[in-house]
A and B are shown apart, each in its own frame.
Chain A
């Protein structure tokens, strides 16, 4: 599904050069559920941005779903994001002035689907996350867990091959986190590839495969390394 080879992403500011991704080579097969871990600043979000075509990179090649997507035009990347990828964000990223229905509808409109099909997809997706009674609610009228479920419905409505989630439970309490993880597991069960960045070992434990990042590099699955490189305070918070 994803094939990254020797990818490098550098952030340059006037003072420093940060190798946010440093020679990343990685294969993720279709249908995998991968948890990406690593301490703060290790490049997890940057990796997700590159994998999700939200950002470009300087060096390396990236093949997605059999297609070389390393050097695509902005419009082409937009189309792939719209059709093949679903995003789940830490702070939900719903449009505050749109109700649940319109929020889930957003990517479908950019796909220029006919109104009837959009309506069916939206209602179906919202049903799957159990929020059919909240279609006319605004995000501000929903709890955090419900908002994240709306965001998941937005992904489901698009029926993507790949789901990228950046700390999807980062802003949720344990109970709500579990609901979200249950949903992700169910989606994975239907064959969707999921890559999820998380700080939470509990969430990571739900994913069969773990990737650890450190200073922009991949250190393959190793629980000890994770513990060693986690800041003491953060490790305590995770317990």
Chain B
């Protein structure tokens, strides 16, 4: 009921109360965005990949033998490796690919339907005809890659990359190729909103066309951008002298340990001029989720610390106000204010500051969220989240004010006549 004069008196101390309102605003902005990130991370954590995660491992063989610089030599070894792996006891499937799920990233590129359309980002990985079976992903439309696709496309891309391509003024290659592609249903829905995508094409920045031959039902691999569900596979033998050759191996359930122990020996018996690195997907996944969990904990800590510091700021300012205004409080008491009136006075004062801060903070939260969204993909700030943040700060503000305000309410009326 005394909001009018309280507000007018506060307007005569703009800096003091303004700074606190800004502190509240910053706190809300940071807290709301942290919570948004946490919620985002949590949904990411609970989402399945769609693969047989528990039975997958990635084996990378890196040569130290100059003979591997020859692609023909490499190809022979890849075929021998795959034959050996598939014949290995406990191995269900094996594929030559660099795709390593659950490491929080991979490779990506942008495609568009045609020059006029918008570029849409997707993950992209080379694959052979066994990839889908190895991952355990279901093809819902079109066909899988064939061994022919893999061999032909590998040759073609090698020829293309052997020398610099001739380009026109806009940077597009003069002679282009068409590459078969298998894409996820989520990506298909983005690029081809209507009708079946099978047989349709999209293009990259070189002007090469990519023709959809198949669509997989579901795919999820967490990625820095929000493109976890978008993927494009293209047929190609994977491997190089420097990076080595990778195989994604799917074991018979329960055989992970046994295969893990024996697989190195199996590849060495094909060719022992290589070093090996074996990563099981459950391990990779654990590490990734661990990192995310750590992030969530850190963000939670940031929230707690920030709210605590802002609370301290409010306690500090109110304590200062009370101490500084002891005589004024005494005078008000002498003029008829009850203890409750004094308490209410400080609560209203801080409520005004917090509310102003929250109003500023809501604007700031959205601005910060939009800035974050332009850097990394994440969830858009929701009104519910802002409401919860606002309530949290209101409560914190009230609690922080209560203790010093109660001290203010205990100032005796005789302070009014005290002569210093």
A55 touches B412 (CB 8 A): yes
Return the contact of B416 from the options A78, A83, A87, A102 (Cβ within 8 A): A87
Does B229 reach chain A (CB closer than 8 Å)?
no
Return the contact of A98 from the options B8, B412, B416, B417 (Cβ within 8 A): B8
B328 touches A95 (CB 8 A): yes
B339 touches A74 (CB 8 A): yes
Chain A contacts of B370 at CB under 8 A?
none
**How distant is the Cα of A184 from the Cα of B343 in the complex, in angstroms?**
34
B417 touches A81 (CB 8 A): no
**How distant is the Cα of A87 from the Cα of B335 in the complex, in angstroms?**
7
Q: Given contacts A74-B339, A95-B331, A110-B335, are A81 and B416 in contact (CB under 8 A)?
A: no
**How distant is the Cα of A79 from the Cα of B333 in the complex, in angstroms?**
10
**How distant is the Cα of A14 from the Cα of B245 in the complex, in angstroms?**
87
Chain B contacts of A216 at CB under 8 A?
none
Chain A contacts of B5 at CB under 8 A?
98, 102, 105-106, 109
**Distance of B333 from chain A, by nearest CB (Å):** 7
Closest to B340 in A: A75
Return the contact of B412 from the options A54, A79, A93 (Cβ within 8 A): A54
Closest to B4 in A: A102
Does A49 reach chain B (CB closer than 8 Å)?
yes
**How distant is the Cα of A75 from the Cα of B337 in the complex, in angstroms?**
9
A110 touches B341 (CB 8 A): yes
Q: Given contacts A49-B417, A87-B416, are A154 and B9 in contact (CB under 8 A)?
A: no
**Distance of A137 from chain B, by nearest CB (Å):** 13
Does B12 reach chain A (CB closer than 8 Å)?
yes
Residues 97 to 125 of chain A near chain B (Cβ within 8 Å): 97-99, 102, 105-107, 109-112
Chain A contacts of B341 at CB under 8 A?
110
B332 touches A106 (CB 8 A): yes
Q: Given contacts A93-B327, A109-B5, A166-B417, are A81 and B412 in contact (CB under 8 A)?
A: no
Does A45 reach chain B (CB closer than 8 Å)?
yes
Chain A contacts of B336 at CB under 8 A?
78-79, 81-83, 107, 110-111
Return the contact of A97 from the options B1, B12, B416 (Cβ within 8 A): B12
Closest to A197 in B: B417
Closest to B333 in A: A78
Interface SS of chain B: helix
B335 touches A54 (CB 8 A): no
**How distant is the Cα of A89 from the Cα of B10 in the complex, in angstroms?**
25
Does A90 reach chain B (CB closer than 8 Å)?
yes
Assign chain A's interface to a size class. Answer: 35 or more
**How distant is the Cα of A89 from the Cα of B333 in the complex, in angstroms?**
14
B334 touches A75 (CB 8 A): no
Does B13 reach chain A (CB closer than 8 Å)?
yes
Chain B contacts of A97 at CB under 8 A?
8-10, 12-13
**Distance of B377 from chain A, by nearest CB (Å):** 49
Q: Given contacts A54-B334, A78-B333, A81-B334, are A89 and B339 in contact (CB under 8 A)?
A: no
Closest to A44 in B: B417
**How distant is the Cα of A117 from the Cα of B200 in the complex, in angstroms?**
81
**Distance of A8 from chain B, by nearest CB (Å):** 16
**Distance of A74 from chain B, by nearest CB (Å):** 6
Chain A contacts of B404 at CB under 8 A?
none
Residues 305 to 345 of chain B near chain A (Cβ within 8 Å): 327-328, 331-339, 341
B416 touches A93 (CB 8 A): yes
Return the contact of B419 from the options A81, A90, A105 (Cβ within 8 A): A90
**How distant is the Cα of A89 from the Cα of B328 in the complex, in angstroms?**
12
Residues 160 to 175 of chain A near chain B (Cβ within 8 Å): 166
Chain B contacts of A91 at CB under 8 A?
419
**How distant is the Cα of A83 from the Cα of B337 in the complex, in angstroms?**
11
Closest to A91 in B: B419
Closest to B328 in A: A95
Chain B contacts of A53 at CB under 8 A?
413
Closest to B341 in A: A110
Chain B contacts of A99 at CB under 8 A?
8
**How distant is the Cα of A45 from the Cα of B330 in the complex, in angstroms?**
15
Chain A contacts of B332 at CB under 8 A?
95, 106, 110
**Distance of B119 from chain A, by nearest CB (Å):** 59
Chain B contacts of A102 at CB under 8 A?
5, 8-9
Closest to A110 in B: B336
B335 touches A89 (CB 8 A): no
Does B71 reach chain A (CB closer than 8 Å)?
no
Residues 48 to 96 of chain A near chain B (Cβ within 8 Å): 48-49, 52-55, 74-75, 77-79, 81-83, 87, 89-91, 93, 95-96
**Distance of B418 from chain A, by nearest CB (Å):** 8
Chain B contacts of A55 at CB under 8 A?
412-414
A89 touches B337 (CB 8 A): no
**How distant is the Cα of A15 from the Cα of B21 in the complex, in angstroms?**
46
Chain A contacts of B335 at CB under 8 A?
81-82, 87, 106-107, 110, 154
5 A-B pairs, CB-CB below 8 angstroms?
A54-B412, A78-B338, A93-B416, A97-B13, A102-B8
Beyond A90-B419, A98-B5, A111-B336: 13 further Cβ-contacts under 8 Å? Answer: A54-B417, A79-B336, A83-B336, A87-B417, A93-B334, A95-B331, A97-B13, A98-B9, A105-B5, A107-B336, A110-B336, A112-B1, A138-B12
Can you list the 6 inter-chain pairs with the closest CB atoms, starting with the nearest?
A82-B336, A97-B9, A110-B336, A54-B413, A107-B335, A93-B331
